[in-house]
Amino acid sequence: MIKLSIIVTAFNEELNVKPLLNNIFKAIRDVSYEIIYVDDGSTDNTAKEVKSFEDKRIKLIELKKNYGQSSALATGIEYAKGEFIVLMDGDLQNDPSDIPMMLQKIENENLDLVTGIRVDRKDDILMRKIPSNIANFIIRSFTGIKIKDLGCTLKIFKNSVAKNIMLYGELHRFIPVLAHIQGATISQVKVKHHARKYGKSKYGINRTFKVISDLLLVLFFERYMKKPMHLFGTLGLIILLTGIIIDFYLLFMKIAGNDIWGKPLLILGVLLTIGGIQIITIGIVAELIIRINLKSNNKKSYRIKNIYVGKN
């Protein structure tokens, strides 16, 4: 059985392929492993560089277009066969020499997930560090998951945990949170970080806003995914009762001989009553959808162009 599945995601990283693969070969010696290179719609020679190795331990999966890192990681995880799965970037900033240490920790302490903390980050302060720090602070504040560096791609986790994490959008940053929702035991270790030598970073300040949007989704997953009625039902009931109170108040005002037609309070009461009923209905529909699709949702967020496996 394969011990490690090392998943590398890359988008236009042709100059980083050979040095990264050579570093992996050098770092991993005592265990069986496979390398799953996911080419996320590159327009350069990334795929060609991977194929040039012709090593049976290497599997290249080419996606039809650039779907983003979450979908690329999800692709690699689906095809991974190892007992443990390692995630890492294809830009040479993660160091494969940290993998044996992380493998030892997850085995010795019987953990489900070990994630890296990048020490002395070699990134641009404005374009990488500041957005990452903002995103980390927001996620920690709202989820209560005390992971210092949620943006570090370098992670190792059990195959069974990885296979049950659904990744799309920008959810790769929330992997520890998604694993925590499953009840996974998580730890973190310091790992090395290198400056980018070749190619350009695909990250920027605009990703912070995407992370905030996905954070709302993750919070819903964590608290209400199995019982959406607890959210929509409670919120809808509060709004509905407020509307009913206003309506009864205006009814008594009308009975007392006051003119209530056209008053803003009347409009508010009607809107709250209708809105409360609609939100409760949404909760019921969401509950039904979850129950129906609980075990039948196998739709993928990506399409594969080609799969190449080394021959030698």
pLDDT of amino acid 95: 93
Q: If pLDDT is split at 50, 70 and 90, which confidence band does 2 have?
A: very high
Whether the CB-CB separation of 113 and 87 falls below 8 Å is answered with no
Whether the CB-CB separation of 256 and 223 falls below 8 Å is answered with no
> pLDDT of 116-128, one tens digit each?
988 877 665 555 5
Q: If pLDDT is split at 50, 70 and 90, which confidence band does 288 have?
A: confident
Mean pLDDT of the chain: 83
Q: If pLDDT is split at 50, 70 and 90, which confidence band does 299 have?
A: low
pLDDT of amino acid 312: 65
Q: Give me the mean pLDDT over the 102-127 stretch.
A: 84
299 CA to centre of own chain: 16
> According to CATH, what is the number of the domain 4-224?
3.90.550.10
232: pLDDT strictly greater than 60: yes
Q: Give me the mean pLDDT over the 231-243 stretch.
A: 88
CA atoms within 13 A on the CB side of 72: 28
pLDDT of amino acid 201: 64
Of 47 and 181, more confident: 47
Domain coordinates in residue numbering, the chain? 4-224, 228-293
pLDDT of amino acid 16: 92
Q: If pLDDT is split at 50, 70 and 90, which confidence band does 32 have?
A: very high
Q: What share of the chain in percent tops pLDDT 70?
A: 81
In angstroms, the Cα distances linking 155 to 13, 33, 76, 176, 292 are: 20, 15, 14, 9, 33
Q: If pLDDT is split at 50, 70 and 90, which confidence band does 301 have?
A: low
pLDDT of amino acid 36: 96
CA nearest neighbour of 199 among 35, 76, 53, 45:
45
Q: Which residues pair with 158 in a beta bridge?
A: 84
CA distance 189 to 115: 6
CA distance 57 to 205: 37
CA distance 126 to 106: 34
> pLDDT of 39-94, one tens digit each?
999 999 999 999 999 889 999 999 999 888 888 999 999 999 999 999 999 888 99
Q: Give me the mean pLDDT over the 162-191 stretch.
A: 84
CA distance 59 to 21: 12
> pLDDT of 193-222, one tens digit each?
888 887 676 555 555 566 666 666 676 766
262: pLDDT strictly greater than 70: yes
Lowest mean per-residue pLDDT among 55-69, 124-138, 277-291: 124-138
